[in-house]
Amino acid sequence: MPSIDGLQDFFAQQTPRMTALADSIWSLAELRYAETASARLHIDALAQSGFRITRDVAGIPTAFMAEWGGEGPVLAFLGEYDALSGLNQQSGALVCTPSTDSPGLAGHGCGHHLLGTSAHFAAIALQQHLQTSGHQARVRFYGCPAEEGGSGKTFMARAGVFDDVDVALTWHPASFTGVFSQSTLANIQAKFIFRGKASHAAHSPHLGRSALDAVELMNVGVNYLREHMPSDARVHYAITDSGGLSPNVVQARAEVLYLIRAARNHEAAELYERVKNVARGAALMTDCQVEVVFDKACSNLLQNSTLNQVMYAQMQALGRLEVDARQQQLASDFQATLDSNDVEQVSRPLASVLRGKVPAVFEGLAPYDPQASDIMFGSTDVADVSWVTPTVQAWVACYAFGTPMHSWQMVSQGQSGLAHAGMVRAAKVLAATAISLLEQPERIAEAKAELLERRAGQPYVCPIPADVPLPFTRT
Ligand SMILES: [Zn+2]
């Protein structure tokens, strides 16, 4: 029996209000560190539910903490609400149709409108449980901005805001349901600004020093580095300033942004040093100067199998997530718009439960193997929380099976019945896991011991150095 059995009426009662909250945040579609209205919607609702609000957490205007309760362990739900640039899309449209009501041209292509709302829903459900059960705990909801490209939680972890948390719980919307048992990659992002000397490219090329040449040589150098780096590391770049549009002017300034990823923090840091050396070499070759500006970073995710097992048991007890024929049909229509490779990529690790059939909606549960140690080739700032306090995450089906993240199909499905059902299911998974931990406090102690073991005696060192400023300007 799931540990939220006594809360079924509460969930039913609150679902319309929480669904409306998720829909509003979907429509706002605010970008990293500018999620002012989305954060305010959460803050107002949590304050109304009796939570104490701390604003401006870590000096970030769109980060906040909401807390309820006095004694007992601190159980924290992590919520996000940032959207993605360029992904604006009409709700429910089966073709890529930019919306007219998204002035920021952004869209919820990663489902963070659902993510934050479920975490909020779980926090008020746990509050309800504490009011009726006699269990003692402090419930927290952390409003975490800028997961997409902003490392919001890493800056929050650097400021120590998770230091007194006993367990952190969160989830991510997906096209299947299971424990988020993969590790993720650490990353470091930095700008390389090259400065040379402008000159007439035909009349006096010998007097010019090309910053664009330096960028190109740096990229060539890094491409040679790829053969000699760990096979699970990744290096991406974007030329963010090519030095102007005139080929007849030797480019005096050019800039390239690098994103470096590796399986562990120290590997990312080592690779970053090697990339910096390549940049220095490019500057030397071209007689330019290079300035390196550290932008942001995040850690690799530390799994906690103690917490994963508690969550998995609750997911099993909650049973299948069943949706009606209309939602099945809609999901099937969306699935028809997907690339078969996207569906195949999600299907492969689930082969043992799918048994050759590709469902429109994944209603079951991915098996959880505590011994497996898979890597998901992406990064998340939840990882930094996982170094500070034992952290557990779920994947919950909110989209047609196979829907890739950051796609227009994900934006389009963000207000569907399936998205809403997944949002409610995720809230139940999070609340049930928290209550189950209160019923077995020894599991919290075990989870903490496991974290210490996984850190192997190392303290958490924030991968963003203390002197790196917050990546936005205060208005
Ligand atoms: Zn996401």
Average pLDDT estimate for 315-319? 97
For range 43-65, the mean pLDDT: 97
> Which pair of structure tokens corresponds to residue 473?
């300007």
Looking at the DSSP bridge assignments, the partners of residue 174 are: 397
Centroid of ligand 1 to alpha carbon of 87 (angstroms): 14
Please tell me the distance between residue 355's alpha carbon and the centre of ligand 1 in angstroms: 28
Mean pLDDT of 332-343: 95
For residue 423, the CA-to-ligand 1 centroid distance in Å is 14
CB atoms within 10 A of CB 467: 6
- Judged against a pLDDT cut of 90, whether residue 4 lies above it is answered with no
CA 167 to ligand 1 centroid distance, Å: 21
CA neighbor of 278 nearest in space, from 323, 367, 216: 216
Query: Residue 251 Cα, ligand 1 centroid: separation in angstroms?
Result: 38
214 Cα–ligand 1 center, Å = 34
pLDDT of amino acid 222: 98
CB neighbour list of residue 167: distance below 8 Å, 6 or more residues apart: 73, 74, 75, 76, 307, 389, 390, 391, 392, 434, 437, 444, 447
Ligand 1 centroid from CA 151, angstroms: 12
Please give the DSSP secondary-structure letter assigned to residue 89: -
CB–CB of 263/224 below 8 Å?
no
With 80 as the cut, is the pLDDT of residue 245 above it? yes
Q: What share of the chain is helix, strand, coil (3-state, %, to 5)?
A: 45, 20, 40
Q: How far apart are CA 177 and CA 339, in angstroms?
A: 21
Which segments of the chain belong to CATH 3.30.70.360? 186-298
* CA-closest candidate to residue 391, choices 166, 187, 178: 166
Q: What is the sign, positive or negative, of the torsion defined by CA atoms of 463, 469, 471, 474?
A: positive
Cα separation, 407 vs 89, whole angstroms: 10
Q: Radius of gyration over alpha carbons of the chain, in Å?
A: 24
Write out the H or E segment, with its range, that includes residue 334. helix 325-335
d(CA 63, CA 338): 35
Residues of the chain with CATH 3.40.630.10: 5-184+300-455
First to last CA, the chain: 50
Contact 314, 433 (CB under 8 A): yes
The CA distance from 72 to 93, in Å, is: 47
- Rounded distance, CA 244 to CA 247, Å? 8
- Residue 450's contacts (CB-CB under 8 Å, 6 or more residues apart) are 304, 305, 306, 390
Looking at the chain, the whole-number percentage of residues with pLDDT higher than 70 is: 98
Going by C-alpha positions, the residue among 348, 354, 335 that lies closest to residue 418 is: 335
d(CA 167, CA 390): 5
> Taking a C-beta distance cutoff of 8 angstroms, is the pair 243, 252 a contact?
yes
pLDDT in tens, 71-91: 999 999 999 999 998 898 999
Q: Rounded to an integer, what distance in angstroms lies between the CA atom of residue 468 and that of residue 298?
A: 13
What is residue 231's three-state secondary structure? coil
245 CB-near residues (< 8 Å, 6+ apart): none
Q: What pLDDT score was predicted for residue 475?
A: 61
Q: Which helix (H) or strand (E) holds 458?
A: none
Mean pLDDT of the chain, nearest integer: 95
> How far, in Å, CA of 93 to CA of 97, rounded?
7
Q: What average pLDDT does range 284-294 have in this prediction?
A: 98
- Å from CA of 316 to ligand 1 middle: 24
**Could you tell me the maximum CA-CA distance found in the chain, to the nearest angstrom?**
84
pLDDT digits (tens, 9 = 90+) for 193-218: 999 999 999 999 999 999 999 999 99
The residue whose two tokens read 């049909």 is: 329
- Residue range 349-370: mean pLDDT, rounded: 93
Task: Find the 6 Cα to ligand 1 centroid distance in Å.
Answer: 31
Fold of 5-184+300-455: Aminopeptidase (3.40.630)
pLDDT grade for 104, boundaries at 50, 70 and 90: low
Cα 114 to ligand 1 centre (Å): 10
- The two three-digit tokens of residue 239, written as one number: 């030329």
**Count of alpha carbons within 13 angstroms of residue 11, beta-carbon side:** 20
- Two tokens, residue 17: 């209000």
Which is it for strands 391-397 and 167-174: parallel, antiparallel or unpaired?
parallel
Tell whether the model's pLDDT for residue 96 goes beyond 80.
yes
Residue that wins the pLDDT comparison between 99 and 128: 128
CA distance 214 to 287: 9
Report how far ligand 1's centroid is from the alpha carbon of 405 (Å): 8
206 CA distance to ligand 1 middle (Å): 49
List of E strands, 81-126: 84-85, 106-107
CA of 173 to the centre of ligand 1 (A): 8
Tell me: the pLDDT tens digits for 409-468? 999 999 999 999 999 999 999 999 999 999 999 999 999 999 999 999 889 999 999 999
State the pLDDT confidence band at 375, using cuts at 50, 70 and 90.
confident
Report yes or no: 137 and 438 within 8 Å, Cβ to Cβ. Answer: yes
- Phi first, then psi, for residue 339 (nearest 5°) are -75, 135
In this prediction, residue 163 carries a pLDDT of 97
Angle between helices 112-133 and 417-439 (to 10 degrees): 40
CATH 3.40.50.720 for domain 186-298, yes or no, is no
| List of residues 6+ apart from 48 with CB closer than 8 A | none
Residue 322 structure tokens: 């069943």
Q: How far is the CA of 172 from the centre of ligand 1 (A)?
A: 7
Ligand 1 center to 269 CA (angstroms):
24
Contact 109, 407 (CB under 8 A): yes
Q: How far is the CA of 406 from the centre of ligand 1 (A)?
A: 8
Q: What is the mean pLDDT of residues 274-288?
A: 98
Question: 156-190: per-residue pLDDT in tens?
Answer: 999 999 999 999 999 999 999 999 999 999 999 99
Q: How far is the CA of 50 from the centre of ligand 1 (A)?
A: 29
pLDDT for 100 beyond 80: no
